């Protein structure tokens, strides 16, 4: 008996919807086995992952706090991925955005101007775009692989961050901790509700998502990018510039990641410190693919991953899981998703060997 | 697995006992089509057996089945009367079956003998000797030490055939072997094939060219839509009778009026256009001069790989060479060498490339989105946002006017047959109302019905004063519809030739560079 994958004539809509459900089920199944082997409580673990995050108002707002930057970056990355521009350095673009935005409160420690926040927003966006522009320039000018360039630029961005925090930007009153001063209230987004960390910056990703949806589904610019990704020769034939596609994809991602970085330092963190990104730049890649690169799908994916991260934090404490177990579960989820996604476009066929002796040929 | 099967079975046709290769009730189904539907075929020893059919009739699938590249869903294969399985090509080669594909599988940077030593045991000297011996015996001369990239297409084909002959070959399968050859080389290929037949090698010859099958083959099996519609002696049938078997109905003929007056200024003018190729195996274009006037059809003939690809991309604007002066390419009297394809379209230029999927159309996108690809200037955008009404109307009109058989504007490009997609792309470009139309391989892989319709369209377009440039490897097509011809060879263009004063042999001389003027042209070649 042989197995063969046949390409479907039309992709299967049913499979497309079933894919995340199957992936989650398989990931839960496999990690249950791992949990049993680790002698950890299985039910308590999944309770912490999927139920506990919704058990009180505060942790629901915490989900949305994670949801925001994931959504923002993933939407922008998905645009690039559909154009086959592989920017995996949103992490670095986010760090630089956080740094450039922090420059305002770091140098204007005493300012109480209402323009502080807008200035930080603009500087954060420009910082992210500038960092992404390096990769775009190297790609379009020297055909340097953007995967490598963006990845390496992320390492460089991290070193720049460390340098600033250990050197010129270190809070002089901060007991030598590698972090800047706490920013003044005027440099922070106002909280949405009393006593929670969720703030008004949550509206940025939501508006951005609407914009991306319009751009990709209704606008010629999105069409051009998708054509460039699906059939580069057809894009050249039509006269769509591949360089423009590289530039716009990377600048858009830099813009989104820069603002995400800014919203972190002007939001839950309130200062520039080493763990400014919480790995959002990398998680957003997972979100983009989990959402099938579709603006609507990405909303669900970002929410799901946010739940998973909050749930992971809970599980760390309540089920006494090691942090790596959380990462393993998240990794399993992505692997199973990608494997299951194959069946949206392909169909499994079982081939039995031909039996000769029984079939009489008819002339 | 290859269980012996009594070849006296009453249900078998009697021929099978003598046949070298027999296929019985072979069926192969792909997701969208049945490529072979209960096909029976008997190839006799020492015969040249043609498989004749239109593109998409299932010829290639059948050959791949016989060579072990594809396994049948049902049916049996017999080799010298015994049932066999051909799970892979190694099994086929072991039996003595060899195949030469349309696209050769030789390493260009290696020499002939090095290429052959990749698949054959023995040191290079013995192999060289064998290559020479086979070359002499079958008139397949080739220098074993030559690098493959320096060989002509005909010589490369010989290398492929020799490689098959190095094994104990009993059946040679050739897939459209003449499609890449200039007319002169076709005759020497046929001589070699006849010699092979007389030395007890059977040949399975796939083609859609009727005349050469009548000239060469002893038997022809005709396929239509996956089914055998007849097995005939091609010498006893006229080309028209064969075509009718192939198409299933009478083949329509096209008619064009005699060309009217052509425009005074050329709509396309290439002046001393030279472009060096950066690809070591690409072709540099040198000193190309070409005029196309409104109201005439100009053809570019030539064996593939002589610079057609490079020239097409330069004319279309898909490749913009920075060293080129803008007025090396003039479109509608405007310098256009620096313009991208979209800007050239605005001048009244329109282009149908030879690759339909992936270049002329985006495969997984619906036809409506594919209309947007080049027709977006036709009121399809409102400050950049798509106007779906206009897009769908344009698509529907194109589908109706050009008789595109499909499920509607939402059908994806890759769900259409080659002929229908070509009709759609040609239609899309014609609806742009171009003044200058450039078509590369207008009827490649297109069935006869669609090909006739497309050629008729081009003739009608000429009457309305459009300038048309055609690159084609099908000489018959060029003779049928062009007014003037150029032949491209090694990146240089022959002088303009009047089609009505030419014979295929004249063109052949230019194709292989044997013409008088080739001496000066090769001089230019070296200078570049």
Give residue-wise pLDDT tens across range A269-295. Answer: 999 999 898 889 999 998 998 888 999
Q: Report the C-alpha gap between B505 and B474 in whole angstroms.
A: 14
> Over the stretch B12-28, which tens digit does the pLDDT of each residue have?
344 666 889 999 999 99
pLDDT > 70 fraction of chain B, expressed in percent and rounded: 92
Residue A31 in any domain: the answer is no
E strands present in B244-384: 266-275, 285-293, 297-301, 329-331, 334-335, 349-352, 381-382
Q: How far apart are CA B490 and CA B485, in angstroms?
A: 16
| Residue range B465-482, pLDDT digits in tens | 999 999 998 888 899 899
Domains in chain B with CATH codes = 266-348+434-527 (3.40.50.300)
Which member of A220, A359, A363 has the closest CB to residue B13?
A363
Does residue A336 lie within any of the structural domains?
A: no
- What average pLDDT does range B101-110 have in this prediction? 85
Measured between alpha carbons, how far is A123 from A110 in angstroms, rounded to an integer?
Answer: 19
pLDDT value of residue B515: 63
Give pLDDT, residue B103.
77
Structure confidence by residue, pLDDT tens digits, A64-117: 999 999 999 999 999 999 999 999 999 999 999 999 999 999 999 999 999 999
Per-residue pLDDT, averaged over B299-314, amounts to: 89
Give the SS3 label for residue B505.
helix
- Minimal CA separation from B417 to chain A, in Å: 13
Q: Is residue A47 part of a domain?
A: no
Mind listing the pLDDT tens digit for each residue in A16-28? 788 878 988 999 9
Instruction: Give the nearest chain A residue to B364 (CA atoms).
Output: A230
Interface contact flag, A361 B24, Cβ < 8 Å: yes
Residue among A219, A230, A237 whose CB faces B360 most closely: A237
pLDDT at B10: 36
Q: At what angle do helices A295-318 and A203-218 cross, to 10 degrees?
A: 140
Count CB pairs under 8 A between chains A and B. 91
* Structural domains counted in chain A: 1
Could you write out the three-class secondary structure of B167-224?
Answer: CCCCEEEEECHHHHCCHHHHHHHHHHHHHHHHCCCEEEEEECCHHHHHHHCCEEEEEE
Facing residue for B341 by CB, picked from A219, A238, A362: A238
Question: Do residues A201 and A189 lie in contact, with contact meaning Cβ atoms separated by under 8 Å?
Answer: yes
Provide the pLDDT for residue B5: 38
CA A197, distance to chain mean position in Å, is 21
Closest CA to B235 of B218, B251, B252: B218
Name residues 190-219 of chain A within 8 A of B (Cβ): 214, 218-219
Alpha-carbon span A93 to B423, nearest angstrom:
47
Is residue A283, in this structure, part of any structural domain at all? yes
B345/A363 CB distance under 8 A: no
In a domain, A166, yes or no: yes
The mean per-residue pLDDT over the stretch B497-518 comes to 78
Q: Does residue A14 sit at the B interface (CB-CB below 8 Å)?
A: no
d(CA B118, CA B310): 32
Residue A214: pLDDT band by 50, 70, 90 thresholds?
very high
Quick check: is A258 in a domain? yes
Q: Which of A239, A241, A248 to mutate to test the interface with B (most CBs of B within 10 A)?
A: A239
Instruction: For A77-89, write each residue's pLDDT tens digit.
Output: 999 999 999 999 9
Q: Closest CB to B31: pick one of A9, A234, A239.
A: A9
A323 is a domain residue: no
Record: contact A220-B83, CB cut-off 8 A:
no
- The Cα B99–Cα B64 span in angstroms is 9
Whether the predicted pLDDT of A240 surpasses 60 = yes
Nearest Cβ partner of A9 from B32, B342, B365?
B32
Q: pLDDT above 90 covers what percent of chain B?
A: 44
Q: Chain A residues with CB inside 8 Å of B385's CB? A: 214, 218-220
By the 8 A CB rule, do B100 and B157 touch?
yes
Q: What is d(CA A102, CA B103) in angstroms, rounded to the nearest whole number?
A: 60
pLDDT attached to residue B3: 40
Stretch B270-293: mean pLDDT: 88
B342 to A356: CB separation less than 8 angstroms, yes or no: no
Cβ(A149)–Cβ(A138) below 8 Å: yes
With CA atoms as reference, the chain B residue closest to A233 would be B359
User: Mean per-residue pLDDT for B57-76?
Assistant: 88
Q: Is A348 on the interface with B (CB under 8 A)?
A: no
pLDDT digits (tens, 9 = 90+) for A170-198: 988 888 889 999 999 999 999 999 999 99
Does residue B526 surpass a pLDDT of 80?
no
Q: Which of A78, A344, A126 is nearest to A222 (CA)?
A: A78
**Domain that residue A196 falls in:** 72-296
The answer to whether residue B522 scores a pLDDT higher than 50 is no
Instruction: Report d(CA B138, CA A331) in Å as an integer.
Output: 62
Phi then psi dihedrals of residue A266, to 5 deg = -95, 15
Residues whose CB is less than 8 angstroms from the CB of residue B333 and which lie 6 or more positions away in sequence, other chains included? B265
Quote the pLDDT of residue B346.
95
Q: Which of A11, A217, A218, A238 is the best mutation test for B, with the most CBs of B within 10 A?
A: A238
Q: CB within 8 A of A51, min separation 6: which ones?
A: none
Q: Do A9 and B415 touch (CB under 8 A)?
A: yes
Query: Is the pLDDT at B8 greater than 70, yes or no?
Result: no
Contacts of B415 in chain A (CB under 8 A): 9
Cβ contact A9–B361 (<8 Å): no
What contacts B457, CB < 8 A, 6 or more positions away? B402, B426, B430
Position B300 confidence tier, pLDDT thresholds 50, 70, 90 = very high
Q: Considering the domain boundaries, does residue A35 fall inside one? A: no
């Amino acid at each position: 008996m042989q197995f063969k994958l046949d390409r479907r004539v039309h992709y299967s809509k049913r499979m497309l919807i079933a894919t995340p459900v199957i992936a989650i089920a398989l990931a839960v199944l496999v990690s249950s086995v791992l949990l049993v082997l680790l002698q950890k409580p299985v039910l308590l673990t999944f309770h912490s992952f999927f139920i506990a995050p919704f058990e009180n108002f505060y942790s629901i707002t915490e989900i949305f706090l994670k949801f925001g930057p994931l959504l923002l970056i993933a939407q922008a990355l998905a645009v690039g991925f559909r154009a086959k521009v592989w920017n995996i350095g949103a992490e670095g673009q986010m760090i630089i955005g956080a740094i450039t935005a922090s420059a305002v409160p770091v140098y204007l420690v005493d300012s109480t101007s209402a323009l502080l926040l807008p200035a930080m927003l603009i500087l954060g966006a420009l910082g992210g775009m500038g960092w992404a522009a390096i990769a775009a320039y190297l790609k379009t000018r020297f055909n340097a692989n953007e995967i490598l360039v963006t990845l390496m630029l992320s390492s460089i961005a991290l070193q720049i961050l460390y340098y600033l925090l250990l050197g010129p930007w270190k809070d002089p009153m901060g007991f030598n901790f590698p972090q800047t001063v706490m920013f003044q209230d005027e440099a922070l987004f106002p909280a949405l509700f009393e006593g929670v960390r969720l703030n008004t910056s949550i509206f940025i990703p939501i508006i951005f998502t609407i914009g991306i949806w319009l751009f990709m589904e209704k606008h010629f610019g999105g069409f051009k990018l998708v054509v460039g990704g699906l059939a580069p020769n057809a894009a050249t034939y039509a006269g769509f510039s591949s360089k423009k596609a590289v530039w716009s994809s990377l600048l858009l991602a830099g813009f989104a990641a820069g603002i995400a970085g800014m919203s972190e330092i002007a939001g839950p963190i309130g200062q520039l410190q080493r763990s400014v990104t919480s790995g959002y730049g990398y998680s957003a890649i997972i979100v983009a693919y989990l959402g099938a690169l579709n603006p609507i799908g990405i909303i669900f994916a970002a929410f799901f991953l946010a739940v998973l991260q909050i749930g992971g934090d809970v599980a760390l404490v309540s089920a006494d899981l090691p942090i790596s177990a959380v990462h393993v579960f998240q990794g399993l989820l992505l692997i199973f998703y990608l494997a299951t996604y194959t069946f949206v476009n392909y169909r499994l066929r079982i081939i039995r060997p031909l039996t000769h002796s029984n079939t009489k040929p008819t002339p | 697995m290859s269980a012996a099967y009594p070849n006296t079975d009453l249900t078998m046709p009697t021929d099978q006992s003598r046949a070298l290769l027999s296929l019985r009730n072979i069926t192969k189904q792909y997701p969208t089509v049945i490529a072979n539907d209960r096909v029976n075929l008997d190839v006799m020893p020492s015969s040249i057996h043609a498989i004749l059919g239109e593109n998409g009739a299932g010829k290639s699938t059948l050959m791949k089945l016989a060579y072990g590249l594809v396994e049948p869903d049902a049916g049996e294969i017999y080799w010298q009367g015994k049932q066999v399985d051909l799970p892979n090509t190694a099994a086929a080669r072991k039996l003595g079956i060899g195949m030469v594909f349309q696209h050769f599988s030789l390493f260009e940077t290696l020499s002939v003998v090095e290429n052959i030593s990749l698949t054959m045991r023995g040191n290079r000297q013995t192999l060289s000797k064998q290559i020479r011996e086979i070359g002499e015996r079958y008139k397949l001369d080739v220098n074993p030490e030559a690098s493959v990239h320096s060989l002509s297409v005909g010589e490369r084909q010989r290398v492929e055939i020799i490689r098959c002959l190095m094994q104990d070959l009993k059946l040679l399968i050739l897939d459209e072997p003449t499609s890449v050859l200039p007319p002169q080389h076709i005759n020497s290929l046929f001589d070699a094939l006849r010699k092979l037949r007389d030395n007890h090698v059977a040949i399975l010859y796939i083609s859609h060219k009727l005349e050469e099958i009548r000239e060469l083959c002893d038997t022809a099996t005709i396929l239509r839509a996956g089914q055998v519609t007849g097995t005939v002696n091609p010498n006893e049938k006229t080309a028209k009778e064969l075509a009718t078997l192939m198409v299933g109905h009478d083949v329509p003929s096209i008619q064009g009026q005699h060309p009217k007056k052509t425009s005074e200024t050329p709509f396309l003018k290439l002046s001393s256009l030279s472009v060096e190729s950066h690809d070591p195996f690409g072709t540099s274009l040198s000193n190309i001069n070409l005029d196309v006037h409104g109201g005439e059809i100009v053809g570019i003939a030539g064996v593939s790989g002589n610079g057609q690809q490079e020239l097409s991309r330069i004319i279309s604007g898909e490749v913009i060479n920075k060293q080129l002066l803008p007025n090396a390419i003039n479109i509608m009297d405007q310098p256009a060498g620096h313009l991208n394809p979209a800007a050239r379209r605005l001048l009244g230029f329109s282009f149908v490339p030879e690759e339909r999927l992936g270049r002329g159309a985006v495969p997984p996108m619906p036809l409506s989105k594919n209309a947007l690809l080049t027709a977006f200037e036709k009121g399809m955008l409102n400050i950049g946002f798509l106007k779906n009404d206009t897009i769908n109307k344009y698509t529907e009109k194109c589908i109706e006017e050009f008789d595109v058989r499909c499920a509607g504007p939402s059908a994806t490009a890759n769900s259409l047959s080659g002929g229908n997609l070509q009709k759609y792309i040609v239609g899309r470009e014609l609806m742009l109302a171009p003044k200058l139309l450039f078509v590369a391989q207008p009827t490649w892989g297109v069935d006869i019905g669609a090909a006739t319709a497309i050629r008729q369209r081009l003739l009608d377009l000429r009457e309305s004063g459009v300038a048309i440039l055609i690159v084609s490897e099908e000489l018959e097509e060029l003779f049928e519809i062009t007014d003037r011809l150029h032949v491209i060879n090694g990146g240089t263009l022959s002088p303009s030739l009047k089609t009505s004063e030419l014979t295929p042999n004249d063109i052949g001389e230019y194709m292989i560079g044997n013409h008088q003027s080739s001496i000066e042209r090769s001089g230019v070649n070296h200078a570049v």
